[in-house]
Chain A
Amino acid sequence: MSTVDWKNYDPVLIPDIKDLHQIDVYIKHNGYKAFESVLKDKMKWPDQKSVINEVKEANIRGRGGAGFNAGLKWSFMPPSDGGARYLACNGDESEPGTFKDRKIFEYNPHVFIEGALIAAYAMEITTIYVYIRGEYRVYIEMMEKAIADAYSKGYIGKNILGSGFSVDFYVHSGAGAYICGEETSMLESLEGKRGYPRVKPPFPAQKGLWGRPTTINNIETLAHVPAVISKGASWFKNIGAANHPGPILYGISGHVNKPGVYELPTGVPVLDLIHDVAGGMRNGKKLKAVIPGGSSTPVLRADQLDGITMDSESLRTVGSMLGTAGMVVMDEDTDMVDVLWRIAHFYHHESCGQCTPCREGTGWLEKILLKIKNGDGEVKDLDLLLDLTTQMEGRTICALADAAAWPVRFTINRFRDEFEARCKKSAFALA
């Protein structure tokens, strides 16, 4: 296996430039050049399709967790009928362990704005919404300022840079619901409704916001677009893992010495990220478990991590997923029962309540886990938990039931001894 050369990587999303969030500084460092070339360089970009093809070619796999090729998603938009078309940018990031988009809002908002504008041009979008998690009050204000600056410089608005292309850009604040990070319930929320996921089909590209064609992309996904346009798809494709290429923001948290967001190529070995990038385990403790990509991705035991790299193919071999690359690192003192109960508590609290299996199942999972945590559980409860996960998985409108069920299933399967040890001793013990 060829290892990814991450040590010599030069960050493009969050480079070490002072005051990059200010539009003048951003422009000074070649900001909005990619957008300008897309609008004006007719030799290189004869039409919108050429932009979409370049992005498709780069294989930017959606950074919101699903990992779908962004360019391919763009190509699903039907031809324009002259009416409204929307780009909804998903900055709701609310999954425990995930905190990468805030870094973009804070340090380099314009790279995202530029990426969204290129996407808007490529798909003939008329209005862009950026939906930001409500708790990110300060970033919402920063984004509003960044967008106002871009308006005043003429990068957003009517007839941008004399190209004839016009687009509007709005910030929409979430109100503290995890479910609104699910793309279709985000659309409902944008429409001012209760955040209930929609039944698909129809897909947003056919019927999205207010029944009009809509594309939904993650903030980080769009932030990659300017570099793809200016440096070319082949540059992007040659970074990181072959099937899941490009730079990615790793959000590393937990029992490490230097938690934080790191921009590196995909496909970095998990152990390198923990020991080299994040400064090793705190207090020299032993590594026990890692949740690789946000709380819904299956947890991995330390002994599963040898040679595993951070890309969807490699993680799949040990039964997990890249998700949002929000890693949670846990040391030997961690109580997995507590961890799982806390995760279950989160999903119980955040289930929107639309579908029966998730509404009722998440609560039941949490209550049983609480019982086990308090030492009142029985071993049969573990089997009930596993049974419930099968009752929930794949039976709901959106993937939240799966997201709630997977941690339970895999944490119990991978740390069963620890759970059994917390359960009451059977009155009919055999030995």
Chain B
Amino acid sequence: MPEVIIDGKSYNYEGKHKLLQFIQDLGKEVPFFCYHPSMSIPANCRQCMVKVGQYVIDRESGNHELDDKGDKVVRWFPKLQTACNIDVADGMVVHTQETDELVRRAQKDNLELILINHPLDCPICDQAGECPLQIQTYKYGPEGSRFEVKKVHKPKRIQLGPRVVLDAERCINCTRCTRFTEEISKTNQLTITRRGDKNYPITAPGTEFDDLYSLNTVDICPVGALTSTDFRFKARVWEMNQTPGIDITNGKGCNIDLWTRDNLVLRITPRYNKDVNDHWMPDSGREAYKLFNENRISRPLQKLDGEQILSSWNNAIATFNEQIDGTDSKNTLVIGSPHASVEENYSLAKFSNLLGIKQPVFVPHIVEGSGDGFLISDDQAPNTNGCRLLGFTELDVKSIKNAVKKASLIILLSDHLLDRGVLSEKDLDGKFLVVLATNHSHTTKLADLVIPVTTAAEHAASYVNVDSRIQRTFRAKETKYTNRRLDLEMSEGRLDRYGTNFDNWVTEENKIDCLPVWRFITQAASARGLDMVLTEGRQIMEEIASSLEPFKGVNYQLMDEHAGILLKTETELKESVKQ
């Protein structure tokens, strides 16, 4: 097997590798800025310099040539090489900064040059704390600067598009952003303008950077040159908790990170998953952070004389049970939701089964032609396939209207059917409408009983995306009834751990008074004396896996290990039954 010697240690390899990626995969490090594993390699930052050579093989004997001391002779490249674009080859000898003074010196020299025209405004820069330039300068850079002349000045605070702001002075011209629009989003909206130390990325005159994926350039910018208009100056990265999650605004189910501080989600960034979204996500999914903070329903609402008033959980549960008791189970319609998780839909279905109510129905939220074939799907909901695999009846607009017409009690889960034009106010005339929802909407306004439930940022639950991949979320945000310190799975940031009650970032109002769907259902069931206990997502998924064929073998442990599990689709399941 071919072998490569890096810093005196031999490694075997197979296939083709670029040296920088190979070194990274070994868990070692070489500093770099412009290289990105999902894009072309421009080798322009010149930071990943390493010393590369090849063992000299004696042509006649085929053995290594040895020097006087008996060491193998290495023929070095006359110049240092950039590791990013050089192919790993058999017999290659590599010295990184760990073993070679020349390489250390070259990397330090390069950082000194990068920094001469970089404004050292880290204290007010959003990138500080997660800045490759800052981190690598501390590790490999010079201690001071010998630059005693004037820096180059370039435009600052340029609004490139609706979501991205440019500070050209911070730019180090790695061209990651321009390559992104060229190779990944394929809009070609950004290019480098001017020449030499005056150059910076910009849009063509008269156009704006309104790429549907524009915010990815902010993520990959190795400095603070591109920042998000929305997130700019909101928080320092080290004040926030970073919790993995799933994009719930779209059927693709991009893997994301939720960044929270003081129980507010402040931003959403993509999380790498090679099978789903690679390093990217659409801008639309990032806007969803507002859904978790704003316009939330806190405490149950009940209609009294035609007006919704704040109610208590006891009253809400009592009303809920009274309505079920007072209605013939044939006239009760339970509507599940592609916008809610598998666990939430299952809890509702289990409850209605115990009461002899028909299996829940659901209305897919698919807008034909709205997808782009990349990370935006036609499906507007994160869990359409989940509802299908749970065996819910799929209804179109016409048949849901019929079903609603026949029913007198409607229990609706997390789906704003009026807002998305499926039902009208007239359809609901004279019906008793119970809505379990996270945010206020036109639909919840009409409800006779509104149960506030947790969002994907407040519960751990799973979603089945358009490709039938089941992936799960983690609790990122506390509710009134959860506690970060007692919850093993919740991340605890610096402020959570070391802050005191006197620190002003502990705002009780940011904790929403809501319950997970299964917790509410369990309470309603126990009030009726039913034997049904659903405690949390992990336990519910185990129950689902043991009782429903499509979810067989699924559990949170596996989902976490493999970043999601590919389930068999409905059609595949049917075929396998036939065989």
Contacts and interface: CB of A to CB of B under 8 A. Distances in A.
A162 to B, nearest CB: 45
A391 B116 CA distance: 13
A364 B191 CA distance: 25
A92 to B, nearest CB: 15
Nearest to A354: B44
A362 B197 CA distance: 8
B438 interface: no
A391 B173 contact: no
B497 interface: no
Contacts of B109: 357, 390-391, 395
Contacts of A359: 173, 196-197, 199
A349 B173 CA distance: 17
- Which among A177, A353, A391 has the greatest number of chain B C-beta atoms within 10 A? A353
B393 to A, nearest CB: 54
B116 A364 contact: yes
A361 interface: yes
A355 B116 CA distance: 14
A36 interface: no
A58 B49 CA distance: 40
Interface string B184-198: 000000011011111
B398 interface: no
Contacts of A362: 196-197
Contacts of B116: 360, 363-364
A269 to B, nearest CB: 32
Interface string B24-36: 0000000000000
Interface stretch (B144-152, B304-312, B328-336, B425-433): B144-152
B113 A357 contact: yes
B153 to A, nearest CB: 12
A384 interface: yes
A356 B198 contact: no
B400 to A, nearest CB: 54
A48 interface: no
A194 B192 contact: yes
Contacts of B173: 353-354, 356, 359
Contact of B44 (A355, A364, A390, A391): A355
Interface in B474-508: none
Contacts of A397: 43-44
Given A357-B46, A364-B149, A396-B46, A391 B113 contact: yes
Interface string A172-199: 0000010100000000000000101001
Contact of A363 (B49, B146, B152): B152
Contacts of A179: 195
A367 to B, nearest CB: 4
Contacts of B113: 356-357, 360-361, 364, 391
A353 B199 contact: yes
Interface in B454-471: none
Interface string B120-152: 000000000000000000000000001101101
Contact of A360 (B42, B43, B114, B191): B114
Interface in A316-355: 348-355
B46 A395 contact: yes
Contacts of B117: 360, 363
Contacts of B147: 364
B46 A352 contact: no
Nearest to A378: B148
Contacts of B49: 395
B45 interface: yes
A363 B191 contact: no
Q: Which of the four size classes fits the interface of chain B?
A: 35 or more
Interface string A362-405: 11100110010000000000001000001100111100000000
Contacts of B199: 353, 359
A353 B194 contact: yes
A384 B112 CA distance: 13
B197 A356 contact: no
B44 A350 contact: no
B114 A351 contact: no
Contact of A177 (B47, B192, B195, B198): B195
B229 interface: no
A2 to B, nearest CB: 33
B112 A391 contact: yes
A384 B144 CA distance: 14
A397 B197 CA distance: 16
Given A356-B110, A363-B117, A349 B46 contact: no
B195 A353 contact: yes
A360 B150 CA distance: 12
Contacts of B45: 355-356
A309 B544 CA distance: 89
A359 B200 CA distance: 12
A384 B49 CA distance: 22
B172 A356 contact: yes
Contacts of A360: 113-114, 116-117, 197
Contact of A394 (B80, B112, B198): B80
B440 to A, nearest CB: 50
Nearest to B85: A199
A395 B51 CA distance: 12
A282 B373 CA distance: 72
A353 B80 CA distance: 20
Nearest to A358: B196
Contacts of A364: 113, 116, 147, 149
Interface string B148-161: 01101000000000
A397 B34 CA distance: 14
Contact of B149 (A199, A350, A356, A368): A368
Nearest 6 A/B pairs, CB to CB: A351-B196, A367-B149, A360-B113, A353-B199, A391-B109, A394-B79
12 contacts: A196-B44, A199-B42, A350-B196, A353-B194, A356-B113, A357-B46, A357-B109, A359-B196, A360-B116, A361-B113, A363-B197, A395-B46
Given A177-B195, A348-B196, A390-B109, 20 more contacts: A199-B42, A199-B43, A352-B196, A353-B173, A353-B195, A356-B44, A357-B109, A357-B110, A357-B113, A359-B173, A359-B196, A360-B113, A360-B117, A362-B196, A364-B116, A364-B147, A364-B149, A384-B146, A391-B113, A395-B106
